[in-house]
Amino acid sequence: MSDGGPARRGGGPGRAGRGGEEPVVPRARPDSYYGRPVLKEPVWEAENVASYLFFGGLAGASSLLAAFAQLTGNRELPTVSKVAAAGAIGLSVAALVRDLGRPARFLNMLRVFKVTSPMSVGSWLLSGYGPAAGAAAALAVTGKLPRAGAAATAAAAALGCGVSTYTAALICDTAVPAWHDGHREMPFLFAGSAASAAGGLGLLAVRPEHSREAARFAVLGAAAELTAKSLMMRRLGAASEPYQTGRAGKLMETGEVLAATGLAGAVLSGRNRVIAGLAGAALLAGSVLTRFGVFEAGRASARDPKYTVAPQRERLAHAAAAVRPDT
Amino acid sequence: MTDLPDLLPASLPVIDPAERAGYADHPPRLGFFTDTSVCIGCKACEVACKEWNAVPDDGLLLTGMSYDNTEQLSATTWRHVAFIEQIGSRGDGPPGPDGSPGRLPGAADGWPGAADGTRWLMASDVCKHCSESACLDVCPTGALMRTEFGTVVVQEDICNGCGNCVSACPFGVIARAETDGGAHKCTLCYDRIGDGLTPACAKACPTESIQFGPVDELRDRARERVGELHESGVTQARLYLDNPQDGIGGGGAFFLLLDEPEVYGLPPDPVVTTRDLPRMWRHTAAAAAGLAVAAFAACLHGARERS
């Protein structure tokens, strides 16, 4: 146990012909099958599925912001947020369909309803949310049928809560170590990231005197995102490595800096249009990078067998120690 | 881990996956017991599987890592023969379950090739047909289904290639094909076993390393076999995924291995991800509620600002 499991011991995969010092037939590492991954790397493309995570979050949280801002008498922010929600959910669904191996069979998602499948739950949520968000935006822009508009706005807000968070369950309900092991904090991280993006968009697109709601929403969101992320890293301990190294590490770190900068900007912007706009852009960019970072961390953790084997070895060692307390 | 089978009580509560899937009256659960101690690495199972199931070839590529040029299970490889060459002194093996110093088995136990500390391990890997299947749980279309035999199959005409099952499988078995965009894996020869035939791989296996039959019988046979091996001094023999109380509820396909599972590219203690899904949904619901509260709080102040 002192060495933290067998996966820490080995070096690289040790393939023949590299570096000239390896034997002709390389020795099998005791901790993996010739360095080959145990898991299959997710087949999802970052440009599709990480975008889908971002746009879904932006859409759902924008619908919520629009509904409450409208309720409390804001006259500019709701329309902008509703249009953003409708556009974002369109892009989100398009990205999802584009990523399917057989896009023509997209509607098979609605063949069954399964709570054991976050993707199934999400498909049903999206098929209710999409039309509601679209109607809310169209009626807000045209100013027609105010009652129907209010109903669509309320429906989009209610379903938007689920749309912006279910994707956390979707990626965590996998065997991918970095995703699954982060399942306690991921929904809060995603909710925070969604609020940060929706608030950021409001700050960017609406005059400061009408975007204070957006600024406060963004501040709460960015704070939640940064807190959830740091709690997750602390709980994961050594298993947080995929989030802190390589491409994923760079994305996560930059996302964090942008979120923190945007948060500060949103607090300080006041009536300054330029600072508010820059803060909004930073928050949006931070949310994008965080989603791509989480996505890349998952892929990296599936690629390297040590992230699969070492925690399982530790679990077995704990179980064995519990059976034989004398060791 | 070598004495794990001895730790198990004689009878354990067993999940009946077919019954749980709603088959009131169903035939006995069928599966594979792959005894790697008699595998000779001939790859007849790989070929028979491809022939019977008309699975496309993977091209002729040399990996350079061992005599295994198949590398892994995939959408077009439903049986994969792993080949491991262990050379030289093995003082750096994993520590024993009792904390004893590490020594890879084989060096002084009379195993063929033990004189110079070299041995070859061969093992035919396959879909485990888990009692609790993550791939089936997360499939949003219902394309993955449980058969009356307790096995898991993909209905190819329904799968829309979403790829969720690929990320959910703790063994990296199921994969998406480049050719048709759908997910594919071992069917345990669903089209043969329904007619009382043996799956192609088991039929072709010349050493009965791959044994097919009712899972209950195979489990008994496997325990008997591991006992025999221990008696004859092969103490490193251990069963893998035979325990109905493990993280996947036991495999419909399970194995007798001669080293740690990870040496064969298998996870040492897989747990089906959906066991944690209730907590994921609870946390998601809490996060969604928190988001609504945050939006409300952010706007509440706005009304006061304007009033």
User: Got the DSSP string for A58-82?
Assistant: HHHHHHHHHHHHHHTT-SSHHHHHH
Q: Is the dihedral of CA A231, A197, A148, A146 positive or negative?
A: positive
pLDDT above 90 covers a percentage of chain B that reads 78
CA distance A34 to chain B (A): 7
Dist. CA B196–CA B193, nearest whole Å: 5
Give the Cα separation of B19 and A115 in Å (integer): 19
Residue of chain B minimizing CA distance to A48: B162
pLDDT at A2 over 90: no
The pLDDT of residue B92: 43
Strand residues in A178-303 grouped as ranges (E): none
Residue B60 has what pLDDT? Answer: 82
Q: Which CATH number fits domain B4-271: 3.30.70.20, 3.30.70.270, 3.40.640.10, 3.30.30.60?
A: 3.30.70.20
Contact list, B84 vs chain A (CB under 8 Å): 28, 33-34
pLDDT band of B15, cuts 50, 70, 90: confident
Chain B residue with CA closest to A40: the answer is: B172
pLDDT of residue B116: 60
Tokens 């892929």 belong to A299
Most A CBs within 10 Å: which of B238, B284, B293, as the mutation test of the A interface?
B284
Q: Give pLDDT, residue B88.
A: 57
Predicted confidence at residue B94, as pLDDT, reads: 45
The CA-atom distances, in angstroms, between A314 and each of A104, A242, B60, B172 are 44, 18, 38, 21
Beta bridge mates, B144:
B154
Domain ranges of chain A: 46-319
Mean pLDDT of A8-31: 40
Across the interface, do A9 and B92 touch by the CB < 8 Å criterion?
yes
Instruction: Count CB pairs under 8 A between chains A and B.
Output: 307
Which of B164, B167, B243 has the most A C-beta neighbours within 10 Å, making it the best mutation to test the interface with A? Answer: B167
Per-residue pLDDT, averaged over A59-87, amounts to: 97
3-state secondary structure of A46: helix
Which of A19-33, A156-170, B82-96, B240-254 is least confident?
A19-33
pLDDT in tens, B252-262: 999 999 999 99
In tens, the pLDDT along A286-305 reads 999 999 999 999 999 999 99
Per-domain residue ranges of chain B: 4-271, 281-307
pTM over 0.95: no
- Asked if residue B271 lies in contact with residue A181, where contact means CB atoms within 8 angstroms, the answer is no
Tokens of B10: 């004689």
Q: What is the mean pLDDT of chain A?
A: 90
Q: What per-residue confidence (pLDDT) applies to B115?
A: 54
Q: Which residues from chain B sit within 8 angstroms of residue A118, using beta carbons? A: 138, 277, 280
Residue of B nearest to A116 (CA): B137
| pLDDT tens by residue, A249-272 | 999 999 999 999 999 999 998 889
Is the CB of B291 less than 8 angstroms away from the CB of A100?
no
Q: How many helices, marked H, and strands, marked E, lie in chain B?
A: 9, 10
Q: What is the pLDDT of residue B307?
A: 58
* Average pLDDT of chain B to the nearest whole number: 88
Q: What is the interface pTM, i.e. ipTM, of the complex?
A: 0.90
pLDDT at B102: 44
What would the mean pLDDT of B280-298 be, rounded to a whole number?
97
B65 — pLDDT class (breaks 50, 70, 90): confident
CATH of A46-319 among 3.40.50.10470, 3.50.30.50, 1.20.1630.10, 2.40.37.10: 1.20.1630.10
